[in-house]
Amino acid sequence: MRKFGPRPSDDDEGDSIRQPCAACQRRFLKGDYTTLVALGPGDDEEEQQRARRGGPYNAIAVEVHWACATGKEEE
């Protein structure tokens, strides 16, 4: 699992700042550390076939706080 952060300024347009974490529903704020949690291949048939074969595929993922995914506090 890759750790991202700290989150940049909340002035970044189009960023996930101010969006809710999929795990705890608290908003992402400046300075937060996050990670992506892979859900699976989604509805893409080619990616589904790759996943079924056990090969690499592009996954649909959701962003969550680092602590929500790992139980570890941010450093």
**Residue 14 has what pLDDT?**
56
Q: What token pair was written down for 37?
A: 């949690």
**Residue 51 has what pLDDT?**
96
**Residue 12 has what pLDDT?**
56
Q: What is the tens place of the pLDDT at every residue in 16-69?
A: 667 899 999 999 988 999 999 999 999 999 999 999 999 999 999 999 999 999
Q: Is 64 helix (H, G, I), strand (E, B) or coil?
A: strand
7 band by pLDDT with thresholds 50, 70 and 90: confident
Q: What token pair was written down for 48?
A: 């589904």
